[in-house]
Amino acid sequence: MASEFHEAIVQTISRSFTDSRQDLSVPTQARIATRANSSFNDFEGRYGKSRKVPDLAIVWNNGSFEYEPKFILEVGFTETYNELVKDARLWLEDHSDVSAVIVVKLDETPSFQCPSNSMEDAEIEAIGFPVACAILSRNFKLQGSNGPVRYRGLQWTGRLTAFLEVWRRHPVSGLAARSGNRVVGY
């Protein structure tokens, strides 16, 4: 299941595309759509029998009532960077309709581990955790602009970081290549 961080990235980029679509002519707007978590299987070459579900696809109606994916968003929280690059290569090298792939990598350092898992019941009781509905976000303390987050003296998240890369098909080699610089955000 995708995390809230993951879904927030997908929603933000989807909203940006929807907003920018308003600047296009009405006939062009009618031919463009966004697809979240839709399955695609029309790959060519090495991965001809592949089936892939991107986090977001911007698709174009080719006039024959078929939607071709043009732009792909792959967001990774549990996926490694290498797995995301492999996805970008698959889309760009084995799907001729795709023009660009945005890869967003989210990292948490250290990775989440429930701090109460290793505690005895008496220790948990001594901390005085309220019932779940009484836990309020304002009681969590953010250390630094991107974490970690602490509650009742225990660390609940690590430091969160993210970066974004745009990948395109190289015009001569036809291979996937990063386009421009990595954009680092927190």
**What pTM was computed for the model?**
0.79
Domain ranges (residues) in the chain: 4-106+160-185, 112-157
Correct CATH for 4-106+160-185 of 3.40.50.1110, 3.90.1570.20, 3.40.50.2300, 3.90.1530.30: 3.90.1570.20
pLDDT of 108 over the 90 cut: no
pLDDT of 25 over the 70 cut: yes
Q: Tens of pLDDT along 45-62?
A: 787 778 899 999 999 998
Neighbouring CB atoms inside 10 A of 101's CB total 28
Residues 6+ positions from 83 with CB-CB distance below 8 Å: 76
At residue 167, the pLDDT reads 98
* 2 confidence band (pLDDT: 50, 70, 90): low
CA 100 to chain centre: 15
